Amino acid sequence: MHDCTANSGHSTALGELQDFPTADGSFSLHSVQFGEAFHNSAGAASEAQAKFVGPAELERFRGGEPLQILDVCLGLGYNTAAVLGALPTPAPAVRWWGLEMDRRPLELALAQPSFQALWSDAVLHKLAAIRDQGGWSTPGNEGQQLWGDARRMLSSIPEAVRFDLILHDAFSPQRCPELWSEEFLSALAQRLAPGGRLLTYSRAAAIRGSLKRAGLALRSLPSAPGERTGWSSGTVAIKGGGIKAGINGGEALEQAGVTWRPLSTMEQEHLLTRAAVPFRDPDQRDLAPVILERRSQEQLHCGLEATNTWQRRWRAADANGGIGSTKLSQ
């Protein structure tokens, strides 16, 4: 176990960080303050691949328009590294922004030989440049890391910038509701380019509801390799229009991509339960307990179906062979 509380001159909002080995052998961390690991136990590298690289369908950007990427919660840098490492050839011009409040995860990752071994020199140079200079700039390729609270730092990205990909990988909504609020998700959705995609591991009804109200079309990620069987392992939220909407620009391809499918009836009904009450943070300044309490109060008075009634209904359907081996653990 590795305590790096004392070895950083930067933010300690994450509190003590402990090593968190994952099943695919990739290095990850656990934040004592948030009470959560940075990745699932199946693997940091495999999660980046399954939930971000796959649904990004990077082939769409082969030598074409510049690809604009926003990494919400850079952490150790897996998602950014995996996406940059999987760009098609010829590679598109890339403009990248990162949001993150604590420098230590990236510093710790870059000090790990097993992490270094995963990436090409070109990708490692970019990660090191983020660590050392807050970004990089080469012809046709630039990146800028914004250190601080993501809610505040998002607005320092020029208003005209529109992202083709937003990689949203905050801690879970119960631990970090400030980055899953209706208002923050709406601000992210506004920044998507036509056909742009917000990708996240979250399948929570509150998050999907906010993304839907922000005008995005929702798709569901099936379980990733090595994960417990479950009904979904994440969400692809797509902004309508644009030539980048599907591999060939066709609406039909939006319905089912290489790695996603439409929301099932069960998932759509999940959006009508109390679980779908959003996290609200009207001024985008509140602390997590305030946001959680506000949501609890709203859930008490919302009149929506209790989430466990929805669970029981679909468990019964499952028992009757109606929906396959669905697990309704959340």
Ligand X SMILES: C[S@@+](CC[C@H](N)C(=O)[O-])C[C@H]1O[C@@H](n2cnc3c(N)ncnc32)[C@H](O)[C@@H]1O
Give bridge partners of residue 69 from the DSSP assignment: 96, 165
> For residues 237 and 228, what is the distance between their CA atoms, to the nearest angstrom?
23
Q: Minimal distance in Å, beta carbon 150 to ligand X?
A: 4
CA neighbor of 99 nearest in space, from 67, 62, 143, 138: 143
> For residues 144 and 124, what is the distance between their CA atoms, to the nearest angstrom?
15
Q: Minimal distance in Å, beta carbon 242 to ligand X?
A: 26
Q: Minimal distance in Å, beta carbon 275 to ligand X?
A: 21
Q: Which residue is nearest to ligand X (CB)?
A: 75
Cβ closer to ligand X: 100 or 254? 100
Cβ closer to ligand X: 81 or 205? 81
Q: Minimal distance in Å, beta carbon 122 to ligand X?
A: 18
CA neighbor of 250 nearest in space, from 57, 93, 50, 51: 57
Asked whether the beta carbons of 257 and 245 are under 8 A apart, the reply is no
Q: Which residues bind ligand X (CB under 6 A)?
A: 14, 38, 48, 73, 75-79, 99-102, 105, 149-150, 169-171, 176, 178-179
Cβ closer to ligand X: 200 or 232? 200
Cβ closer to ligand X: 100 or 227? 100
Q: Minimal distance in Å, beta carbon 79 to ligand X?
A: 5
- What contacts 24+ positions apart, CB below 8 Å, involve 136-144? 140/66, 140/93, 140/94, 141/93, 141/94, 142/94, 142/95, 142/96, 143/94, 143/95, 143/96, 143/97, 143/98, 144/96, 144/97, 144/98
Structure-token pair, residue 75: 């952490």
Peptide bond into 88 cis (omega under 30): no
Sheet holding 36-37, edge to edge: 17-19, 29-31, 36-37
Cβ closer to ligand X: 183 or 267? 183
Asked whether the beta carbons of 189 and 239 are under 8 A apart, the reply is yes
Q: Minimal distance in Å, beta carbon 77 to ligand X?
A: 6
Cβ closer to ligand X: 13 or 243? 13
Cβ closer to ligand X: 37 or 271? 37
Asked whether the beta carbons of 281 and 177 are under 8 A apart, the reply is yes
Q: Minimal distance in Å, beta carbon 240 to ligand X?
A: 27
Distance, C-alpha 53 to centroid of its chain: 11
